[in-house]
Amino acid sequence: QQQVKQSPQSLIVQKGGISIINCAYENTAFDYFPWYQQFPGKGPALLIAIRPDVSEKKEGRFTISFNKSAKQFSLHIMDSQPGDSATYFCAASAQLGGKLIFGQGTELSVKP
């Protein structure tokens, strides 16, 4: 119940295309869903986050779509760029507790 399942494991997208990464969870107590971007040799960087009272949040080229009934959320990267090539992690936590449960990660490669 504490798991967050992330797919796909790896993704190759052409420059200018849309990258889509999906996550699913079981614990209905989760109420905070962030996405992190991690480059090799670096720590995860907070990209965008959503709470379940909204179904979509957009920041620049990054959009989170949230489906509470399906217990799924996804990250869309519009106009993907080679500089977006990194590993992306979804995460979830419950009730301001601060214990983030991470997905397994998606390695994104954007080809020029």
Which residues are at the interface with other proteins (CB under 8 A)? 6, 32, 34, 36, 41-46, 49, 89, 91, 93, 96-105
User: What is the C-alpha to C-alpha distance for residues 46 and 31, in angstroms, rounded to an integer?
Assistant: 17
Q: How far is the CB of 17 from other proteins (least distance, A)?
A: 25
Tell me the closest approach of the beta carbon of residue 100 to other proteins, in angstroms: 6
Residue 85 or 102 having the CB closest to other proteins? 102
> In the complex with other proteins, which residue's Cβ is closer, 73 or 89?
89
Cα–Cα dist 32/84, whole Å: 24
DSSP secondary structure letters along 23-56:
EEE--TTEEEEEEEEE-TTS--EEEEEE-TT-SE
Q: How far is the CB of 90 from other proteins (least distance, A)?
A: 9
Nearer CB in complex with other proteins: 75/103: 103
Closest by alpha carbon to 81, among 45, 61, 110? 110
